[in-house]
Structures are given as structure tokens and as C-alpha cells.
Chain A
Amino acid sequence: MRTILYLLQKEFIQVFRNKGMLPIIFIMPLVQMLILVFAATMELKMIDITVVDLDLSETSTRLTAKLESSSFFHLTRAQLSPSETDKILLKGKTDVVITFPQGFESDLKRNDQASVQILIDAINGSAAELSNAYLQTVIGSYNQKVRAEMMGVPKFTPPEQVQVIPSYWYNPELNFKFYMAPGVLVILVTIIGLFLSSLNLVREKEMGTIEQLNVTPIKKYHFIIGKMMPFLIIALLDLTFGLIVAKVAFGLPFRGNILTLYVFTSLYLFLVLSIGLFVSAISDTQQQVLFVSFFFLIIFIIMSGLFTPVESMPVWAQNLDMINPIYYLIRIIRNVVLKGSGLLDMTRELIYLSIYGLLMFSLAVWRYRKTV
């Protein structure tokens, strides 16, 4: 036990003696929180719409004005031929082109129906779908109004229609930042903890200092704990710092128990650092460690539900998330922070993370060889 204390003392002295370390520990979380949370938003705002009005009637002008008044759209009017329309979409100068054909109003009056052409740049499929949905809503409500006026019936919708009034729980304003911030916190502690510890171990191999430890009667698990604890503590420090930034910068609500959050994050870090130390135990150079860690990190992040809902992934991919530590912690932190879930609400996750962590820790200790 005393040995571990001497090892921890050594690691902490080395970490804080390294001048490049403090900026990594404090600037990185700040930048990541601010940039990622503000930038990585899935809400669609300011969709570029080009309206080609070949009819120039009262109906088409009023619909155009209605679109213009929405905060979702940035609208330009232009008189373009069909080939010019193709060109501006191709060049990416606009996201959507709406064309009112000649005779739009007269068709509507005569035949009780008229067509509008909507072309959407669908390279980003989900963004295209969202644009379409927004447009349908705006045009749909205009549609009702215009028909009501033309037929002279009361403006209001017929009483027999069913109205849906959604009630959004846990994040009533649908604030995307509240959804992103917990995820970014997870990425933050993962990168700091994982890379600092695994690179540190393999660096001792590169420098040759590990030999001097390997000829001592040091116990293997003492050594691994000595390599893990300092970086686990630094990562928790970064979690605290990140939470403060999230609170100050965008008022992240905090409904759960902060202790719950630290218990889960510590268990998670125990698991993730064990994986990292396992990788460095089987590697000889920092380069190898970086490549292997990046490989897994990218798969784990993309499949974690940080950007896209896990529920929309294919079932096999959802099953694969069983072994994805990031998936667990993002879900756990969102639950604790936004729903106020406690330890008892997540006993399954608690047991699972503990067993998984012990398994990976044993693997790291087993694979670290004092004799090669």
C-alpha cells in the first residue's frame, strides 16, 4: 500500500513539473465545452431559400412573405430559368428552391388546387427532411387560411379536427445545448484520462525507465494503480471544471445528485483507463498506442449517441454498444443532469460498469509484463 503512495507522489510531481501539462488540463476543457456545445447543434436555423415566382400573383407573394417572416428561413427572390435553378443548387448557393409556376393563382381559383415545386439539396438527408417538415408546416397553415378566405367559411379549423399538444419533459425548451453538454463532458474526461495515462506508461518503455522499476519487487497491480490514479483524479478535476463552464456559459440545469455523477464517472474512468493501460501494456511505442486508441475512440464516440440517437441505429449496432463505455456514461450523465436520476435508478449500469471495469483492470495487470 505504501508503495502506491510513493508511485503516486512520483507521478504527480512529474505531471505538474511538465510545463505543457497545465494548459492541457485547464484550457482543453474550456475550449471543448465552448466550441463543441455551441457549434455541434442539430437544430436547423437559417435555411437558405430561393423563391422563383413566375406567377407574381397576390397568393404567391403572400406565401413568400409568410416564409420570409419565419426565423428558420433566409429568403432570396430571383427570377431564374429551370437550368439556372439547377446550377445554384449544384453550386450550393442555396439549400432550397421554391418555384411558383405561371398561372399558380388562377389554377388555384379555377381547379381548387395548384402545384408548387420545391427542390431541396438532400446531401445531408436529415437536414433535408427537417427543411421539408418546416416548409410543409408553413405552407400547410397558409393553405388552410387561403382556402378559408376563398370559400368564405370561418377562418378557424373545423371543430372535429384532433389537435395534438405535445408536452416536452426534462428539456422543455428543446435546448440542444442541454443535450450536447453532458456528451461533451464525457468526451472530455475520456480524452484527458485515457491519453495521459496510456501515453505515460508507454513513454516509460520508450525512455527505458520502466526497466529500473521492473527489476524491483514492485507488484504489477501496484504499478498499474500508480499509473491510473493520478490521471483518474485529474480527469475528475476536469469534470468539475467542465460542469462549472457548462453552468456558467449556458445554464445547464442540474437536477440530480452531484455525488451520483462522480460515482459513475469514477467507475467509468476506472474502466476506460484500464482499457488504455491494457493497450499500452501490449504496445512498445507511443505511436502504436495513439493509433489503437484513436481507432476505438472514434468508433465508440460515433456509436455513443452523442450526435445521433442510438435508437435509430440498426439492432446489431445497438447490441454492439453493450461494450461501448462512452455510450453508458453519456446516457448516465444525461439522466443524472436532466432527469435527476439517482444511483438506485441505475443499479444495472452501476453493476455493469463495475464488472466491466474489474475485468479490464485484471486484463491490464495480467498483460503488463515485468519479464519480456
Chain B
Amino acid sequence: MDRINPERTPIIKVENLVKKFGSFVADDNLTFNVYPGEIFGFLGANGAGKTTAIRMICGLLEPTSGRLEVAGYDGYHEREKIKRNIGYMSQKFSLYEDLTIYENIRLFAGIYGISRKVRLEKTDEMLKKLQLEESRNKLVGGLPLGWKQKLAFSLAIFHHPKVVFLDEPSGGVDPLTRRTFWDLINEAAHQGITIFVTTHYMDEAEYCDRVAIMSEGKIVALDTPAALKAKYQADSMDGVFLKIARNKE
């Protein structure tokens, strides 16, 4: 917990953020702060509004109303400045499957203006860590899902953003692969990158410093996993989630 300093100004400020699709309210008055260095989790069932929220914060989706600030920049008028300072990994794998691992790295490093020298150094370092040195010139489309996700994450933080947004980053892989994936996330957090992650796996919530639980577009609880467990007298996040769901009924 030493990497988090709650005295510091929040890196993400969200106030009364609303997203409506026609008459359907996907996100209803979200208000929360995320502090630098935190691993902040958005927990909720499918359709609770997690992805909509993350896409608004990243500047992919226009909010209906509310205030939004990321890395000190306004979420309406300074989106391009925000984009310099964030990384994003979408729910659906979205690197180019018909490009090799290195060609993907070269493209995105190029877009962020990383020099050739730095790119080559970081690529070697990254592929070594992922044990993908052999696959450097293989097409991304042929990699197993677990490797694709690790690659997508590593590319999302390649330019060392202030915050990285992960939308259901470990969906569809086995628990062991998920575990090693979270090792990567922890390592990034220790390098000072703030992590904003959505998930519907309750065990993943345990890895977060603070968790916001979403239901039907609203934040129904927000605290550290330990505090939530104490409050709802449960021994796991799974228990917390079930109790909250029952209280609603």
C-alpha cells in the first residue's frame, strides 16, 4: 500500500457522469476519484455499465453529462492531451492479427513518437519478459489467447502512460494464466502506472487497492476489499457481491 498516497490530487476525477443511449441510462451519475499509483477495480455483472464508463473516460465515447478529468486534462475539450497520457486495452483483442508482434510494436511506438533506439531496447526487454523472443516475427493472429492478452497489455503500457485502462483484460483464459497476467499488472503498478481495471471475476477484485461495485449503471459500493468484506460481513469479495445483490432485491 506504500505506493498509494491519498493526499495527492486524483489522477481521474469523475463527477455525476451520465451516459444515456436514447431513454436507456447506461451510466447513472457516477462519482469517484482514482489516485495516482492505485489499482482501481470496476466490478459488476455484464451490462452493469463498466465498459461504457471506461470508454467515456478514455475519450472513445461522448458522455451525456457530468464532469470528467484525466491526468489534469478536461474530458471534453482536451481529449487528445488525455490520450497522450493513457494506455488502453479493450475487451475485444484489437491488435493487428495480420501483422507480426514486432510490426505491431513498431506501429504503436511510432504513433506515440517513441524513437527507434528506445523502441528497439524496450522491445527486447518486453519480449524477454514475456518469453516471446522466439515469436518476434510471428503473426499475432497465431498466438494463443493468453499470450495475446499479455502482449496487448504490454503494448498498452509501452509508452509508459500515467494511467492504463483495462477492460475485462483476462476474459476467457484459465486461472493460472490469469494469475500470471496479474503479475504483469502488479509490476506495472510498481513502476508508478495507475491501473483502472474492469472485471466480473470476484477473485480479481481481491488484487485491487479499491473497488467500485456497479449494478444497473450505478455505483453501489466503493472501498478497499478489506473494508467491504468487513462491512458486509463476508470472507470473500464473492460474498460481498452476493450480499449487495440480495439487498437490492
Set B88, B98, B99: member contacting A215, Cβ < 8 A:
B88
Q: Which residues of A contact B147 (CB under 8 A)?
A: none
Contacting residue for A216 out of B92, B96, B106, B108, CB 8 A: B108
Contacts of B98 in A (CB 8 A): 14, 17-18
- The reply on B143 being an interface residue by CB < 8 A is no
A9-B116 Cα distance, complex, nearest whole Å: 15
Bound CA span A17–B139, Å: 11
**With a CB–CB cut-off of 8 A, which chain B residues contact A208?**
90, 92, 94
Residue ID in chain A nearest B165 by CB atoms: A215
For A1-25 the 0/1 string (1 means CB < 8 A from B) is: 0110111011001100110000000
Are the C-beta atoms of B112 and A217 separated by less than 8 Å?
A: yes
Q: How many residues of chain A are within 8 Å of chain B by beta carbon?
A: 25
Give A220's nearest chain B residue, CB to CB: B80
Chain B: CB-nearest residue to A18:
B98
The SS class assigned to the A binding surface is: helix
A211–B60 CB distance below 8 A: yes
User: Quick one: CB contact mask for A268-284 with B, threshold 8 Å, 1 for yes?
Assistant: 00000000000000000
When the two chains form their complex, are residues B94 and A209 in contact, meaning their CB atoms are under 8 A apart?
yes
Q: Determine if A213 is an interface residue (Cβ-Cβ < 8 Å).
A: yes
> Is B62 at the interface (CB under 8 A from chain A)?
yes
A-facing residues in B59-76 (Cβ within 8 Å): 59-62
- Interface membership of B6, Cβ < 8 A: no
Instruction: List A contacts of B106 (CB < 8 A).
Output: 6, 9
Q: Which residues of A contact B111 (CB under 8 A)?
A: 3, 6-7, 213, 216-218
Asked, given contacts A14-B96, A371-B79, A372-B60, whether A217 binds B110 with beta carbons under 8 Å apart, the answer is no
Q: Which residues of B contact A217 (CB under 8 A)?
A: 80-81, 83-84, 111-112
Bound complex: CA A282 to CA B106 (Å): 29
Chain B residues, Cβ within 8 Å of A370: 59-60, 79
A214 within 8 Å of B by Cβ?
A: yes
Given contacts A3-B111, A371-B61, A212 and B95 within 8 Å (CB-CB): yes
Q: CB of A35 within 8 A of chain B? A: no
Closest to A214 in B: B60
Query: What's the minimum C-beta distance from A321 to chain B, rounded to whole angstroms?
Result: 39
Q: How far is the CA of A213 from the CA of B59 in the complex (A)?
A: 12
For the complex, is A299 an interface residue (Cβ under 8 Å from B)?
Answer: no
A207 within 8 A of B: yes
Distance of A207 Cα from B95 Cα, bound (Å): 10
B144 touches A (CB below 8 Å):
no
| A contact residues around B96 at 8 Å (CB) | 10, 14, 209
Determine the residue in chain A with the shortest Cβ distance to B86. Answer: A215
Q: Is the CB of A211 within 8 A of B61?
A: no
Report the Cα distance A216→B90, complex, angstroms.
13
CB contacts under 8 Å to B, within A201-246, are 207-209, 211-218
Q: Give the distance in Å from the alpha carbon of A217 to the alpha carbon of B58 in the complex.
A: 11
Given contacts A13-B99, A371-B79, contact A6 B107 (CB under 8 A): yes
* CB of B113 within 8 Å of the partner chain: yes
| A372→B58 contact, CB < 8 A | no
Query: Is B206 an interface residue, CB under 8 A from the partner?
Result: no
A-B contacts, 7 of them at CB < 8 A, read: A209-B95, A211-B60, A211-B90, A212-B94, A217-B84, A217-B112, A371-B59
B contact set with A: CB distance below 8 Å = 58-62, 79-81, 83-84, 86-88, 90, 92, 94-96, 98-99, 103, 106-108, 110-113
Q: 6 closest pairs, A vs B, by CB?
A: A6-B110, A215-B88, A217-B83, A212-B94, A208-B94, A208-B92
* Additional 12 contacts, C-beta under 8 A, given A3-B113, A215-B59, A217-B80: A6-B110, A6-B111, A10-B107, A13-B103, A14-B98, A211-B90, A212-B88, A215-B58, A215-B87, A216-B108, A216-B111, A370-B79
